Structure 1
Amino acid sequence: MKVLFISLFLALSYYDDIHVTALFNPSDIRNHLSSRTPYRFRSNKNDTRIRYPDCKDSKIWMIIRHGTRLPNSKDITAAQSLIDLRDEILLQHTSGKGQLTKEQLKRLEDWTSDIDVDHGKYLTTEGQFEMIDLADRMQNRFPHAIKQKYSNKTFLFRYTGTQRAQQSARYFTTGLFEKKVAQEIIFPPVKEVDLVLRFYKHCDRWQKQVKKNPETYKESQLYIKSQEMNETLESLSERLGLTRVISFETANTLYKFCGYETSWDAQHKTSAWCAAFDEETILPFEYYHDLKKYWKDGYGYELSYQQACISIKHMFDSFRNDAGPRATFLFTHSGTILKILTYLGLYKPEFPLNSTYRDEDRKWRISDIDTFAANLAIVLYKCKEGDHVLALHQEDIIRLPMCSEDLCPLKTLEEHFKDSLNNCDFNEMCSLERGDVK
């Protein structure tokens, strides 16, 4: 245990330096890696207790995307093709083509891909540290709601039936309690159908009319064929020294591995494949993924985020139940986080994202709102003037759109969501017999 925390201390010391570098440099491509953006660039390192006059933190409901993971089997297989591309790049640079430096070429030359396909999507060591550190900071901020002493009556931990979510939960508890205590945590059995943690997986109407609907991907597919993307691929190819224009599919694999490897590297080195991009060519790839997520998991279709009423209802119920847990921690996935953020009205762009215009100032940016270990916490404060709630996203205090102050009366939220929660009939909402989605 002592060795673990010495390692963690050293890692966090490095976090601070690299976090500052990325956070205050918008041109740093590591800030634009979509859902694979390192959480260390977004987390709030200030863990001072959050106090309000005449109020005390009483309960917390927190939903957390798993920590940094390995690629899925499809991406692992695709990475094998990068070996031939790497050799082609090195060969072209010996002929004077390309713009990569000697150091970048050396890192490409040393690059290998030996990930076991059977370990696809597994939580990485970096993901473990993310969870430990996140738990420690949250406990420091809300010591009354998140006690240091464990009891299965005051804590509730739930995760989906995936290795990455299960391990995220277990390392999170290691950050809250002593290792011996963490090993004795009681986790409820994984539900085969868990509508709170992953509702969309069981919504037949959403699966058919949104996820598997070609119209959902119309704008992102049009963007692939846009002049901006064509020019980006040409610029990317020239930078790599290729005598041909790289395909979007191959370039997107480079983009993904730039994110994966930068996020999981224990020494926090940037992936060798990030050398393919500069501050201009990285942005269209970020936008492509923003487009996909906007139409599939965000504001594109009402059904996508209407389903999240199930999760928000769970939050309200936990606050109303005086005999229930003080601290609820739910470990889930990107799709759940984005739909809940959308249900709450957060990060809504001024107009629907489309293939013809890339708004550089858009609020909907996955690199900011849905990194590895992305999280949303709602904290209940008992105040002299009644119950209030505070929302934190990525550990930063945010003001919910329906509230006039950061610390918002619970009644304001209850009134705002009254209709959608009263009509939160999942079976009816997700029935294929209903009409087409809007």
Structure 2
Amino acid sequence: MNLKIKFVFLIFLYIFTTGTSKSCYWNSECVYKYFSSKTPYNSVRGDIRDSIVKLKGCEPVSVWALIRHGKRSPGIDYGRNMLEALVIRDYVVTSFSNGKSSMCSQDVENLRDWEVDTELFENTHGLTAEGYKEMKEIGKRIKEAFKELLTNLEDGSYTLRSAYGAWIENGVDGFVKGISSIPLMVEKSNPKYDIMAPYEACPKYLAGVKHNPGTYKEADMYQSTPEFKAIKERIKNLTGVQYPLTDMNVTSLYDLCRYTWSPINNNRSPWCALFTNEDLYALEYYGDLRHYYRNGYGTPMPKKFGQIPMADLYKTFVNAKAGNHRKLTTYFSHATMMDMVYNALEWFKDEIPLRSVYRDPNRKWRSTMTSPFAGNLIAVLTRCIIDNREDYKVVFYTNEQPATWMCDNGVCSWHEFENKFMAFSTGCEPPYANCDYYQQNVRNSPKSSAESNRYLTHPEYLAAKDRIHRRSGIEYSLTDENITALYDLCRYDWNAVEYKISPWCAIFTKDDLEVLEYVQDLNHYYRNSYGTPVNEVFGKVPLGDLFTNFESVTKGGGKKIVAYVTHSTMLDQIYMTLGLFKDSVPLTGANRDRDRKWRTSKISTFGVNFVAVLNRCDKQGSKEYNVVFYLNEEPIRSICEEGVCSWENFDTKLRQYVNTTIDFC
């Protein structure tokens, strides 16, 4: 009897639990809270007060930040579509009353009792109260994390600038109240052009990318995939709605879900109950595709725009390192700018481009993380004293969490930072190209051509000039410019690949060509190399990069090949740094040494190349490394004995260049 009762009880319990168990949104502990670029900040953020990277012997000296605006209301078109979708709520409630819906009672009740926030639809593109609070809290946390640096922000010690847009500018007000107890000056935004939204003033981007239907081809195609179509069927089955749902219906319901979700107040949106987690995964990916091809890696142009604020970051920290620093530099912009910056940095880049045919659940490009409301990129310059030596490091954070994939868990040495970010400042040009000091005092200075001009008055040159005049039969006197032009016709028209000698070279004798070659040697010598001391500093920059790359390989990382394509100027500067082709007596316009080492015809030719090869050798069970240098595909035997540098010799020669800076520029 006792056994029968237990058996009946178990049967009843099983029937009761299986008959009443239902997955409900309102009490689920595993709701999906990531909504592409409309994700509330609190759903993804860290807390920089807790995640701040503390480096021994270091103190922060400058903070640079790029912050997207906080949560805002939808634009006119999206808002109108959302309002039109509200009617679906009545269908859901009616369907549930008629027993045709499988939604939970509480979820339907929450949806029925939800009150329309008129502010959400009437104040289009307006910053919401939640968005204002997001910005204020970010400012507050940054101040607390760097309180010794940011407690007193005097005039001139900070920069605050907003891209154009009332919702962005209103958020700046919240940020200021969070980071300072006193009012701070905010630079006025420019409605026509701003470095924090440069793409808005570029017709090529607006017409060719942003407003080009082809940009959204992959996203549109994704809506035709079985995965996306399944969303409509699940919504219909869940709600009992009988009529076919369009893509616009689904998107509008999704917008109602994500725009009315409030993690700050811990309020889930009842509209999200219409979706399963699988639906939300797919809808998030739809947003990812749009961002990827409009702002990210799917289109080449956005990367250029992302380089602009990164150049500002580099210049800000270079100035700070030189002592002319701002404590705080903060810019406020759009999701578009955030995506473009990450594009320029090559962060969140997938090996395989995002496509409509397959949603990779482990993809790196997630607009939820790259551009949520109030999403941010923060860089902190720290000054360190290590072994009584001053050094600098840069720490990176995204959404208040360390960017652990950058350098060493988000911490970059100054050399690593400079190698990465200098290119943004110079447009990927060599270090001297945008150095005002070099351009004014060397390249464009009369001093650099003084010796070559002096040689133009030397009897040796004048004799060559006379020979050319007589051989050519020209009746009028040839100027130095005429001689140079004829020489250029000779050398530019010479085709060494096809072994075609230029007929213009017939004007010159061998002695003439040697004299004219020396004029060029003098120009290179004083403009790019030993004739001017500052050139040695520029040569250190790529050599520091060479050492860093090879050292990384010896530690198990690095790349198989690193190649840079540049100008003869850069090669000349590298030769100077390494002490190559250095004559015991400086070249001058008073005397042409026929046995000189500095010969541009051999070291600065078209296609000239400087190559270093790292070799790994197995000796008695241990690994050793050596480095061999080549110039124009021939070994350079003057750098190390027999042209082969042991790792110790290589380390001694090049490690010193790793932290080279060009602050004097």
Unmatched segments (≥5 aa) in structure 1: 1-24, 426-438
2:174 & 2:56 partners in 1: Cα distance?
33
Deviations 1:6-54 (A, max 9, x none): xxxxxxxxxxxxxxxxxxx994222x21111121122223614542012
1:331 & 1:417 partners in 2: Cα distance?
20
Counterpart of 2:395? 390
Which of these two proteins has the greater Rg computed from alpha carbons?
2
- Find the residue that maps to 1:262 and give its secondary structure: coil
Counterpart of 2:76? 73
1:155 & 1:52 partners in 2: Cα distance?
24
Paired letter, 1:389: V
2:174 & 2:420 partners in 1: Cα distance?
35
Counterpart of 2:656? none
Counterpart of 1:283? 281
Offset of residue 285 of structure 1: 0.5
Offset of residue 144 of structure 1: 3.8
Paired letter, 2:402: I
Q: Do the aligned partners of 1:195 and 1:311 also contact (CA within 8 Å) in 2?
A: no
1:225-240 matches, within 5 Å, as 225-240=224-239
- Find the residue that maps to 1:311 and give its secondary structure: helix
Offset of residue 193 of structure 1: 3.7
- Find the residue that maps to 2:49 and give its secondary structure: coil
2:62 & 2:176 partners in 1: Cα distance?
17
1:396 & 1:35 partners in 2: Cα distance?
18
Counterpart of 1:17? none
Range 40-49 or range 135-144, more displaced? 40-49
- Find the residue that maps to 1:93 and give its secondary structure: helix
2:103 & 2:29 partners in 1: Cα distance?
21
Deviations 1:103-143 (A, max 9, x none): 11112212343535551121111112212211121122223
Q: Do the aligned partners of 1:71 and 1:120 also contact (CA within 8 Å) in 2?
A: yes
Offset of residue 270 of structure 1: 0.9
Q: Do the aligned partners of 1:254 and 1:273 also contact (CA within 8 Å) in 2?
A: yes
- Find the residue that maps to 2:96 and give its secondary structure: helix
Counterpart of 1:334? 335
Change (3 A) 1:269 1:345: same
1:72 & 1:307 partners in 2: Cα distance?
24
Counterpart of 1:359? 360
Task: Name the % identity.
Answer: 25
Counterpart of 2:135? 131
1:295 & 1:128 partners in 2: Cα distance?
30
Higher relative contact order (CA 8 A, sep 6+): 1
Deviations 1:211-239 (A, max 9, x none): 12222111111101111111221112211
1:45-60 matches, within 5 Å, as 45=47, 47-48=49-50, 50-60=53-63
Deviations 1:248-301 (A, max 9, x none): 1111111112111103x7633111211101111111111100111111111111
- Find the residue that maps to 2:260 and give its secondary structure: helix
Q: Do the aligned partners of 1:344 and 1:400 also contact (CA within 8 Å) in 2?
A: no
- Find the residue that maps to 1:280 and give its secondary structure: helix
Match of 2:38 among 36, 39, 43: 36
1:82 & 1:75 partners in 2: Cα distance?
11
- Find the residue that maps to 1:51 and give its secondary structure: coil
Whether 2:246 is the aligned partner of 1:247: answer yes
Structure 1 stretches of 4+ with a deviation exceeding 6 A read none
Whether 2:126 is the aligned partner of 1:122: answer yes
- Find the residue that maps to 1:307 and give its secondary structure: helix
Change (3 A) 1:417 1:157: closer
2:229 & 2:177 partners in 1: Cα distance?
47
Change (3 A) 1:106 1:122: same
Counterpart of 2:294? 296
Offset of residue 347 of structure 1: 0.8
Unmatched segments (≥5 aa) in structure 2: 1-27, 430-665
Deviations 1:64-87 (A, max 9, x none): 011111121222211221232111
Match of 2:107 among 104, 107, 111: 104
- Find the residue that maps to 1:308 and give its secondary structure: helix
- Find the residue that maps to 1:80 and give its secondary structure: helix
Range 416-425 or range 251-260, more displaced? 416-425
Counterpart of 1:428? none
Q: Do the aligned partners of 2:199 and 2:305 also contact (CA within 8 Å) in 1?
A: yes
2:107 & 2:410 partners in 1: Cα distance?
45
2:313 & 2:410 partners in 1: Cα distance?
18
Paired letter, 2:87: D
Root-mean-square deviation (Å): 2.1
Change (3 A) 1:215 1:120: same
Aligned residues: 393
Report the TM-score when normalising by structure 2. Answer: 0.57
Offset of residue 309 of structure 1: 1.2
Counterpart of 1:315? 313
Paired letter, 1:187: V
Q: Do the aligned partners of 2:314 and 2:422 also contact (CA within 8 Å) in 1?
A: no
Change (3 A) 1:266 1:423: closer
- Find the residue that maps to 1:29 and give its secondary structure: coil
- Find the residue that maps to 1:196 and give its secondary structure: coil
2:255 & 2:375 partners in 1: Cα distance?
18
Q: Do the aligned partners of 1:70 and 1:123 also contact (CA within 8 Å) in 2?
A: yes
Paired letter, 1:310: I
1:246 & 1:34 partners in 2: Cα distance?
22
Deviations 1:313-351 (A, max 9, x none): 111111122334210111111000111012111111221
Counterpart of 1:166? 169
Deviations 1:406-438 (A, max 9, x none): 22013212223444432279xxxxxxxxxxxxx
2:167 & 2:411 partners in 1: Cα distance?
33
- Find the residue that maps to 2:287 and give its secondary structure: helix
